[in-house]
Amino acid sequence: MSSVLRVLPVPSGPAVVSILPALGRALGGDGPPLLPVPEGDAKETGRLTAALRPGEPIDETDDGVALVPATSGTTGVPKGALLSARALRASGTATHDRLGGPGAWLLALPAHHVAGLQVLLRSVLAGTTPVVVDVANGFDPRLLPAAVDALSGPRRYTSLVPTQLVKALDHADATAALADLDAVLLGGAATPAPVLRRAVDAGITVVRTYGMSETCGGCVYDGVPLDGAKVRLDDGRVLLGGDMVASGYRGLPGHPAFAEPGWFRTDDAGRWDDGVLTVVGRLDEAISTGGLTVVPQVVEAVLAEHPGVRECAVLGVPDDRLGQQVVAVVVPEAGWVPSVPELRAHVGATLDVTAAPREVRVRESLPVRGPGKVDRAGLRAWWLAHDTAGGRTGS
């Protein structure tokens, strides 16, 4: 097998099935290592190829690299996770074992990211052809009923990110279609508890997944590791190990995230509750305010319980007195206007008042990077660039 990294242009929409043979060879370890890039997006393709250097050999590992998906990363510079055929097969097999067996898959995610790729890879493993919802111009939940109807086989699955589920729950037919599936994998970002409750109440079999490109996507389902996956905590930091872990990063031998063979050191904080992993938030996104530490995701979980909050993001912005100030960006439900006193009281009823946002701004939507993570860096830049703009309330 050639060790030279090759570009794999990934089409959008139904044409994506054209890459299934190449993915089949990758799963079998019979082809060159592949770098998935979005076909038709010259800018993104240029960014990925400049960083990950297709056409050059992979010499960081002899582990039989099959795919090198780019991380969505927080630095803006993509890293390529070196995934072996063995790791990809272990991931797909363990997923089907957890869900109750192989089945037909509905693809509603960009297929050059690891979550979308995994829908295709699982389809190859199951010997099925996926049904595809084109998301090149955004996710339209009205397409779900026909797509679900087109799925065949005794078991049917899909994979979504929370923002897609939020949209689907606003459409009765889309909600009913998702409820007809045997499982809806939900990952890429934390799912607000009210959204999860709405989905479960609607009869949707939601399986919350945790993982990343470095672990072939989700390797912990509903807090429990898949067969072959391992989890441990190091002073509160989540480490993921086992069969699905990447060999390292493209061009970054000795990266500290892979310092311990067979383990990936995440930037996430977590805890164990009766054998179930709860991810609290990202260590590198913690806010230091007035000498205290605030984890944004913890505050977001509380804010999301407010009936007027559709989506939200909590940030730390520079403050001369506090070091950083806790602020919030809110996508409100129709007809509700957020106010700082109301939201501070809501947060303060559950958390220390230090964690309550001191300013709030309103947006129609939150920017995302990758398939579903909030682009906090972009949101923080927007906040600072519009420091005197409208759409803001403050204490």
Asked if 332 and 216 sit in the same domain, the reply is no
Look at residue 72 in the predicted model and tell me its pLDDT: 65
- Residue numbers of the domain that contains 20: 6-279
Mean pLDDT computed over 305-311 = 94
In 3D, which of 39, 21, 38 has the Cα closest to residue 30?
21
Look at residue 392 in the predicted model and tell me its pLDDT: 47
Asked if 75 and 126 sit in the same domain, the reply is yes
For the cut 50, the answer to whether the pLDDT of residue 390 exceeds it is no
The two structure tokens encoding residue 15: 């044409």
Look at residue 78 in the predicted model and tell me its pLDDT: 87
**Residue 74 pLDDT grade (very low, low, confident, very high; cuts 50, 70, 90):** very low
Look at residue 271 in the predicted model and tell me its pLDDT: 92
Cα(84)–Cα(62) distance, integer angstroms:
10
Asked if 37 and 70 sit in the same domain, the reply is yes
339-360 pLDDT per residue, tens: 999 999 999 999 988 899 999 9
Asked if 199 and 343 sit in the same domain, the reply is no
Cα(206)–Cα(215) distance, integer angstroms:
21
Domain count, the chain: 2
47-62 pLDDT per residue, tens: 999 999 999 998 755 5
Quick check: is 373 in a domain?
A: yes
CATH number assigned to the domain comprising residue 260: 3.40.50.12780
156-214 pLDDT per residue, tens: 999 999 989 999 999 999 999 999 999 999 998 888 899 999 999 999 999 999 999 99
Examine the fold and report which residue of 230, 251, 279 is the final residue of a domain before the chain moves on: 279
CATH number assigned to the domain comprising residue 302: 3.30.300.30
The two structure tokens encoding residue 4: 């030279």
Cα(81)–Cα(216) distance, integer angstroms:
9
| Residue type present at position 179 | A
Indicate the pTM of the whole model.
0.84
What is the Cα gyration radius of the chain?
21
Quick check: is 395 in a domain?
A: no
Asked if 150 and 258 sit in the same domain, the reply is yes
Look at residue 148 in the predicted model and tell me its pLDDT: 98
**For strand 156-160 and strand 323-332, is the pairing parallel, antiparallel, or unpaired?**
unpaired
Examine the fold and report which residue of 244, 263, 279 is the final residue of a domain before the chain moves on: 279
Q: Which residues pair with 80 in a beta bridge?
A: 70
Asked if 55 and 37 sit in the same domain, the reply is yes
Asked if 262 and 349 sit in the same domain, the reply is no
Of all residues in the chain, what percent carry a pLDDT higher than 90? 76
**Angle, helices 172-179/162-169, rounded to nearest 10 degrees:** 120
Examine the fold and report which residue of 246, 279, 312 is the final residue of a domain before the chain moves on: 279
